[in-house]
Amino acid sequence: MAERMIGRALSRREDSRLLRGTGRFVDDFAPPGAAHMAILRSPFAHARIGPVDLAGARAAPGAIDAFCGADLERPLPQIPFRLAGLSGFDRFLQQPIAMDKVRYAGEPVAVVVASDRYAAEDALAAIEVDYDPLPAVADPETAAESGTLVHDEAGENIAIRYAVGRGDVEAAFAAAPYRRRERFRTHRQTALPLETRGLVADFSDGETLRLWGAAKVTHFNKRVLVRAFGLPDAAVELIQLDVGGGFGARGELYPEDYLVPIASRRAGRPVKWIEDRQEHLMAANHSRDIVCSLEIAAERDGTILALRGEVVADLGAYARTNGGIVPVRTVQFLPGPYRIPNFACESSIVVTNRTPTGTYRGPGRFEANFFRERMIDLMATDLGLDPAEVRLGNLLGPDELPFDIGELVPGDTGTAYADGDYPAALRRLLDEVGYEGWRTRQGETGADGRRHGLGIACFVESSAAGPPEHAHIGADESGRIEVRVGSSSFGQGVETGMTQVAADALGVPPDAITVRHGTTSLLADGSGSYHSRSTVMAGNAVADAAAAFRERCVALAALRWNAEPESLAWRDGRVERSGDEAAETIGIGALAAFARSRGESLEAAGRFDNRGKVAWSSGAHAAHVAVDVETGEVAVLDYRVVEELGRVLNPMLAEGQAVGAAVQGIGGALFDRIRHDGDGQLLTANLADYLVPASVEIPRIETVALESHPATSNPLGFKGAGEGGVIAVGAAIANAIALALGTSGAGPTELPATPGDVLGLMEERGR
């Protein structure tokens, strides 16, 4: 091949079908004879359930079936943990449908199956439920002391309370000449992918289950459903179609993953369910609900001596599959990329009568970065120091890595930052934004009458830990190569990236390769896409499969030529041997035909296991904002992301990930907020109330991908690129707002910072 593929900005292969309108999403799919399902959801955040009268729904036009929890065999399965299943969480697991009590507004109470979606929705209105409302626990900060229990049998609203740390925090604070304490909060948000959730199940014979619309962790979900329905492994298949965004929320197990198959088995026909936007806002996982009281100790020159905090996190009504990730990673990433010798944090994870929580892009990292980076700016203001210089003086340098961070997650030892140069990334950012010129411009009133500020923030991010990933490479007699991976795709370019890895490893053009992913029948096992792991884990698994494929090709050529394998070589997609005359070669198609003539196939499997290792990315963000002091409106005018990615697989994909992540971060900083009232009722049930940034709110976003420190945790040197663009956005924008207003000592301490919040800040300090 004339050109290497890794590192090349190859256009996304997925885009052709998507731009032509030939993509196939779950709502585009319905097997012949499919019925439609609708869910009656609780209007109360907390209530006991009396009799459920389904007679009216069963008699409704087009109705096929209606059922509630009392109609199902007990015990019902519980939705299990997938990640961060901390001790005590098992007391708060969720069943697919409420039985005796509802614990959040939106919890499934009954199901209707009908001939079409409209008939199913209409039939819900005929269901009568006898609710006995109970007081709701709606405030996580008072949940532990509340006289109301979300789960009576648990006897408390605290899922777990733990403390972690390193060094001698008490001594450091006692000796420090400077100390400051502040309370911060990130409010509830949701991922809000363009495509809402949806599933189509065919469990009509009660013996084999096919589920379309799966995403993210299909093999894990399959194993859970196998156990839940008591089926052989071969009798369950999860099939991935195109997915319109994931961002942490999509693809986890939800009640609907059980209810749709149950509905299909009961109805004896395929059943389809598509979530509407109101359902998504009330029933899909929320995230970001963290309160942190943070205290810093430092020398007068800004050298950080210690950091200690108290974190309160809201699981919502149940501990869902990955609900523990945000709380534990918030604590773990509070010290960030800095040389902080003494650190301590107490964490309380509670349950409330609100929608259960899960992950959202940059889980725990976004929150921790906002808390810490705001505190650093507050400290710099108090001490009369430049915030950039304070950071440069405290960032870990390359000669200090690896840096053991200690056991900051219960049971998680041996974790150490590696492979980076944190000060270099910040210096590059400062150069990119012309920071020297900003030192005297902070708070300046522009020609537009608005106050301008430039905020910065630094971060470090883990990626690609966890279970192994798998890949398979096969070829047919035409020479076409099929690559199968366990990773799932929801828009991040898996097909393109894995094509590039395979093309380089095999020395063939990209057009010769087809990549398939996600569906459980493609591979015996796969770990899926989360924690920015697809490029690292699937990429290295594909490289491993390619090495085995090359060996298989050489072995087949040796048999055909009656030669020793050691005398043969692989070059540019062919096996060659050299003799006295010109080199003889044989290609992949001919080798596949030869294998077939022997009753065999040309294929090989690969695997990459990264357990016990982490690929660490790092970087810095800058935000230029303008604040309207009359309305409190904040406009982000310019945004910059510098990220150390080790080795970039595809610059176009990396830039797209960073820009898309930054856009979501802007939403989290200024717009996105799920609101409940004191009774746990959702107040933001539509997109008129739950605000997200539109195109007019998005500034120019420029990204720089550094490749100075390839990851030593994997052979290809990749680092995860999916979340670095969001992690520091809230912190950078909040710091910029504070500097624009000249109120760094009392800038935003909660996100999102809405216009009303900004006006409140100005009123506190005097306009």
Token representation of residue 757: 């919040």
Pick the CATH number of 366-464+614-765 from 1.10.3720.10, 2.130.10.30, 3.30.365.10, 3.40.50.300: 3.30.365.10
Q: Which string of DSSP letters, residue by residue, matches 692-726?
A: ---GGG--EEEEEEE-SS--TTSTT-----SSHHH
* β-strands 615-627, 158-166 pairing: unpaired
SS3 assignment, position 47: strand
Given a contact cutoff of 8 angstroms between Cβ atoms, the answer to whether 355 and 282 are in contact is yes
Q: What is the pLDDT of residue 582?
A: 64
Q: What is the pLDDT of residue 665?
A: 98
Q: What is the pLDDT of residue 145?
A: 96
Q: Which string of DSSP letters, residue by residue, matches 497-550?
A: HHHHHHHHHHT--GGGEEEEES-TTTSS----S-TT-IIIIIHHHHHHHHHHHH
Q: Do domains 31-134+196-243+250-283 and 366-464+614-765 have the same CATH topology?
A: no
Reported in sequence order, the residue ranges of 588-713 that DSSP labels E, i.e. its strands, are 602-608, 615-627, 634-644, 700-706
Domain 31-134+196-243+250-283 has CATH 3.90.1170.50: yes
Nearest to 336 by CA among 459, 422, 186, 419: 459
- How far apart are the C-alpha atoms of 767 and 761, rounded to whole Å? 9
- How far apart are the C-alpha atoms of 98 and 41, rounded to whole Å? 9
Nearest to 280 by CA among 188, 187, 196: 196
* 65-82: burial string, b at 16+ Cβ within 10 Å, e else: bbbbbeebeeebebbbbb
Residue range 491-532, pLDDT digits in tens: 999 999 999 999 999 999 999 999 999 999 999 999 999 999
The residues of the chain scoring below 50 in pLDDT are none
Angle at 742 between CA 740 and CA 748, to 5 degrees: 75
- How far apart are the C-alpha atoms of 601 and 473, rounded to whole Å? 11
Q: What is the pLDDT of residue 583?
A: 79
Is the pTM higher than 0.85? The answer reads yes
Helical ranges in 384-493 per DSSP H? 387-394, 422-433, 435-438
- How far apart are the C-alpha atoms of 314 and 349, rounded to whole Å? 6
Quote the distance between the C-alpha of residue 748 and its chain's center: 25
Quote the distance between the C-alpha of residue 297 and its chain's center: 33
Q: What is the pLDDT of residue 2?
A: 52
Looking up tokens 């900004």 gives: 758
Q: What is the pLDDT of residue 765?
A: 73
- How far apart are the C-alpha atoms of 216 and 710, rounded to whole Å? 26
The residue ranges of every structural domain in the chain are 15-22+466-608, 31-134+196-243+250-283, 366-464+614-765
Nearest to 371 by CA among 452, 443, 433, 288: 288
Angle at 547 between CA 545 and CA 553, to 5 degrees: 100
Residue range 114-166, pLDDT digits in tens: 999 999 999 999 999 999 999 999 999 999 999 999 999 999 999 999 999 99
Q: Output the CATH code of domain 15-22+466-608.
A: 3.30.365.10
Given a contact cutoff of 8 angstroms between Cβ atoms, the answer to whether 469 and 543 are in contact is no
